[in-house]
Copies of this chain bind each other. A is one copy, B any other.
C-alpha cells in the first residue's frame, strides 16, 4: 500500500491556490513543474479557477476520474470535512500537510485520533498531519512544499520537513543524491516501520536514512531494523536526545519521551549507524554512498602535513581504529618515490614538497598492498612551489581509479573546502573527500563497522 504514495497514478491537491504566498501554491507548483511526470494532477481550490493554466475543481468529488492520493492543505478547521469527501471519493491515501493538531494541544491530539480512526475504518492510509509531504525523486514526483533533492540512492524518512530541506542543501554541496523522501509529521497512521519496509524493497534505494523525534513502538522499529540492516545500511539521527531536546520536540511534533540511550544501544545492536549530530549524519551518508567496504581494519596513512596526520591519529585512537603495519615489501615499493628525509612509518609523512606524482604512487602502493584495508591520504593544499591546488587530490583519485576503486580511500584535505577546483573534481569523479580529521576517522569507523555487521552478525562476506 505504501507504494501508492510514492507511485500514484493520480494526485489531488486540496487547497491549491494561485497565491504564491501560500503553501497550497508551493505544493501545486512543485507538482506541475515537471512536465514529464506521468502522475495525473488534479487541483481542488476554493478561490482560484485556474492555476498556472490548469483548471481547478470546487471539491475532490467533482473530479471525474479516480484519485489515488489526496494532499490536503486547507486550514485545520476544514480538514475534517475534506477528509469525509476523500473517503467518499475512495482515495487510497491521504497526506495531511496542514498543521495545528497534536503538536499544539490535547484538543489537537483528539482531532488527530478521530481522523485516524475514520480513515482506518475506510481502509485509507494517512501521512501527517503537520508535514511537508513526500517525494519520489526517481520519477520527479514532488508532492511537498520543499525542493527536490538531487537524484540518487539514499532514501530518507524524516519527522522534520525542514531537516529534510537542510539535508537536501547539503546533498547538493556534497554531491549526494536521494531516491525517496517522506516527512510523516505527527504520524497518526503510516509508521516509520512501514516506510522503512517499503524502502527496503525499493530497488533504487541503497541507503536508508532516518531523522526521528519520537517512536511509539520501539520493539517493532528494532525488528524492522534487524530485517533491513543485512541488506541495506540504515543511518539514524535522533532529535530530542536530551530533556531539553525532548521538550522542544513535544512542541514540534507532539512527541512523547523516548529514552535515547536505550534506543541508541538497541539500534547499534541491530547494526544501524547512529549519528550524534548533523555533521556526522552527512558524513555517514557520504561515506556509505561513495565507498566500497574494506576487507579488514588496517588503515594506511600518507600526508604532506605532519599536523594533519597527528590530528588524524588522535581520532584513530578516539574511534578505536587500527594503524596498518607497513611491510618490508611495501616500504621497498614506496621508497623510490620519496626523498631520503622521509621516515618509512605509518603515518607516512612525505613532507611539504610532495606533489601529484608522490600522491599517485604512494596511494597506489597502499591500495595494492594486502596488509592495508583503508587508505587515508591527507593533504593541506600547498600555496608554494608552483604546485597546482588540485594536483594532490587528483593523484590520489587517479590511483584509486587505476586500482578499480576496490579498496576504500578516505582523502582528508584539512582546510581544503576553500578550493572549488578540488571539489569540482571530486564531484565529476563521484569520489569522496573529507575536510576534518574527525570526519575522515568517522568514515573509517562507519565502513569498518558496516563490514563487521555483515560478517559477524549476518555471515555475509564482503567481496
Contacts and interface: CB of A to CB of B under 8 A. Distances in A.
B251 A381 contact: no
Contact of A304 (B25, B162, B249): B162
B170 A244 contact: no
Interface in A9-67: 20-23, 25-26
A168 B418 CA distance: 10
A81 interface: no
Contact of A384 (B145, B245, B249, B252): B145
Contact of A278 (B158, B277, B343, B414): B414
Interface in A192-215: 211, 213
A104 interface: yes
Contacts of A155: none
Q: How many copies does the complex hold?
A: 2
B165 A380 contact: yes
Contact of A317 (B160, B244, B305, B341): B244
A100 B339 CA distance: 11
A313 B244 contact: yes
Nearest to A380: B162
Given A146-B383, A307-B211, A381-B169, A242 B313 contact: yes
B248 A310 contact: yes
Interface size class of A (residues with CB under 8 A): 35 or more
Interface in A374-429: 380-386, 414-419
Given A146-B383, A313-B248, A384-B146, A278 B100 contact: no
A326 interface: no
A449 interface: no
Interface string A306-350: 111111111111100001000000000000000001010101010
Nearest to A247: B313
A437 interface: yes
A353 B98 CA distance: 13
Contacts of A167: 415
A69 B150 CA distance: 56
